[in-house]
Amino acid sequence: MSITQDARLQPDPLAAAPPMTGLARADFGNPAAWAVGFILLVMPLIANGFFLIEIFGTTLILGIVALSLMFLAGYGGMVSLMQLTIAGLAGYMTAVLGVSGNANISLGWPWWLATPVAVALATLFGTVGGALAVRTEGIYTIMITLAIASAFYYFTNQNWDIFNGHTGINSIVTPHFWGVDWRADVPFYYVILVVAALCFGAVGYLSRAPFGLALQGVRDNPRRMAALGFNVNAHRVAAYAFASFVAALGGVLQVWNYRQISPGSVGVERAIDILIIAVVGGVTRPIGPFIGALIFVLLRTFTLDFLVAIGLDGNRFRLLIGLGFLVIVLFSPDGIVGLWERWRRRGEQAPVPPGGDRHG
Amino acid sequence: MTKFIERHPLWSFTILIAVAAALWLLFATWPPGLEEAFGRKKVFLSAVFNGITLGGLYFLVASGFTLIFGLMRNVNLAHGSLYLFGGYIGYAVSVATGSWMLSFVAAFIVVALVGVAMQILVFRRIEGQDLRQTMVTIGLSIVFADLMLWAFGGDFYQIQTPRALVGPMELPFVTAVKSSGEAVYLQYPMVRLVIFAASVVIGVAMWLALHRTRIGMIVRAGVDDRDILAAMGVRIQLVFALVFALGAGLAGMAGVVGATFQSISPGEDIRFLLASLVVVIIGGMGSIPGAALGALIVGLAEQLGSVYIPTYAIVVTFLIMVLVLAVRPQGLLASR
């Protein structure tokens, strides 16, 4: 009981745990899922370079990082604000270990060595951070992870030996092998798509595997799980380890995408953006973060033009994001996915309002 | 105290040695060997004083944060925004009226009203849902940050120190001995010392108010079990609003202090939010003495770190937090 119980995003077990596993499996028989998959596969035929990478590529990358948060928050009941920090560390390590324009810092390892080591280091960092966070309960998680995230931001800002201070690391060299420049728009899009699909599949699979079910049990009632003989903290730390790995993959893609990284990329605002993406999309299902990321990227790209077009100050993007986030948190805690599910179920359960509404 | 010594004789001895060493470092004239290894004593003393006075500022910010959390279980991540807002209000008032004291009063009242509005309009609706409240405060902090950026721009603002407090003050700490045998004493800005003294007074007043008055008794009872308290017939919503007003108002006043000490600009909200978080994680959530101890530790670690290991200063603060979480996850002085 106690704090963890209250700290779950979706306090009603009816709406959260049992239907989720069933629905995730049902997705594979869902024609809409096949259609979305097909469109994503042939996207390079439809979209040009700008849309392909700046919109869809970025959406998928942010989606991967937010997916790691969704896994922790949705299945583990732990809202971690350090997922972007883990991704940022993976990006920084890719730059520091690999080849970049800052020759005095970069060690110049080949990408096939630098990338796995970067991912491993970031995963280790995330796991240790998670092990710290699980020493306390519920709401403290968000504070500890926020403290880790902002400490990392200030550290990258003031440290010149490893992170090159506030200028960051520029002109990072991306992989180039088998005669393909993997950072060219179309190959890079497919790299992102494959990684995103693997992460999505892995989260979906884990949520139904014994480990994921035990984790959801830990989220719902840690005491009972402990009494049943499960090691509650070990499950939580393992969840952090997996989520860190996913976030680290997103971080490597992120740094390949922009070819540079600086403290601005790991700032507290960015870390909170990941939370916004996950919560707006919905943390009850793995598809939520990707929906949230698409909305976020579209807003970020087009708000300026839109606001100027209707005669407002174009710089108020964050105001809009903040207000949108507030509306979602106050009125639909399970995000866009929750809204959609409620809308779909409106006929079946007309006499009994669905659980989520109680808090709306 | 005696119980602690009886139970942990080894720890007590270590602490005693550490305190003695610290006192010696502060008061003695450093031998030349130490000055060579460690830098000049003046630098060390200034860093210590900067750390202690910065700790006073952190205490002002964090005490409101910890008070609100203790009673309402509300992790107010918009607390940094309240600090920054208080700084801006104080700046506007001090420019308009030229009065430093008035800027404190104005910042306290305006920011307290914002806090009450947040409590009544938002948090009351989603009471008892910790995580959603926290998310709402994150949303609010984004909105506030952007509104303040809109209104005040990205400039740095600094509040003019009143003339009576400008200038250094000589303290009875020897920094060096001249060849003539005459001792040189530490010169330190008076305004920082005055503000530190004020934050100590505020801290003691808060402790007395919590432990010696009726309203403090109600607040402490609310920290322990707010449902029972409500069932006893106490108008708990009124208490919540009052505590929120006090916590927010303290953050606003701290903003004026921060704008006088240093300066305020966008981004300071996150800096002070981080400081409050680390302070209360170290000291223990919901505990005023814990906030004081945590603020002192964080302030000293930050200033000494930035003098002796400049590019790794934040790591020191962070390691302290990690150490506390590893040894005593509930915080050093938490009651629970």
Is B29 within the bounds of a domain? no
Is B317 within the bounds of a domain? no
pLDDT > 60? residue A281: yes
B126·A319 Cβ contact <8 A: no
Distance of CA A153 to the CA centre of its chain: 18
- Min Cα distance B143 → chain A (Å) is 5
Best of B122, B136, B142 to substitute, by most chain A Cβ atoms within 10 angstroms, is B142
- Min Cα distance B169 → chain A (Å) is 32
A-chain residue closest to B328, CA distance: A135
CA A156 to CA A150: how far, in whole Å?
10
Least confidently predicted of A141-150, B97-106, B122-131, B227-236: B122-131
pLDDT band at B1 (very low <50, low <70, confident <90, very high): low
Lookup: tokens for A100: 């970049």
Number of domains in chain B: 1
Interface contact A299, partner B, CB < 8 A = no
Interface contact A226, partner B, CB < 8 A = no
For chain A, what percent of residues have pLDDT higher than 70?
A: 86
Is B26 within the bounds of a domain? no
Express each pLDDT in B81-107 by its tens digit.
Answer: 999 999 999 999 988 888 888 888 999
pLDDT > 70? residue A145: yes
Is B4 within the bounds of a domain? no
Q: Is B118 exposed, middle or buried (0-12, 13-18, 19+ CB in 10 A)?
A: buried
Is B254 within the bounds of a domain? yes
Neighbouring C-beta atoms of residue A224, cutoff 10 Å: 13
Interface contact B131, partner A, CB < 8 A = yes
CB A198 within 8 A of CB A242: no
pLDDT > 70? residue A357: no
User: What's the complex ipTM?
Assistant: 0.77
Of A135, A319, A359, nearest to B146 by CB-CB distance is A319
Of A9, A144, A151, nearest to B314 by CB-CB distance is A151
For the segment B5-29, the average pLDDT, to the nearest whole number, is 78
Express each pLDDT in B248-293 by its tens digit.
Answer: 999 999 999 888 888 888 888 888 888 888 898 888 887 888 889 9
pLDDT of A349 reads: 56
For the segment B179-199, the average pLDDT, to the nearest whole number, is 79
Number of domains in chain A: 1
- Average pLDDT score, chain B: 83
Structural domain boundaries enclosing A333: 2-359
pLDDT band at A87 (very low <50, low <70, confident <90, very high): very high
Is B287 within the bounds of a domain? no
pLDDT of B248 reads: 92
Express each pLDDT in A295-324 by its tens digit.
Answer: 888 888 887 777 777 777 667 778 888 888
A322·B139 Cβ contact <8 A: yes
Express each pLDDT in B63-74 by its tens digit.
Answer: 888 888 877 777
B-chain residue closest to A314, CA distance: B150
Is B20 within the bounds of a domain? no
Tell me how many residue pairs between chain A and chain B have CB atoms under 8 A apart: 130
Is B332 within the bounds of a domain? no
- H or E stretch covering B335: none
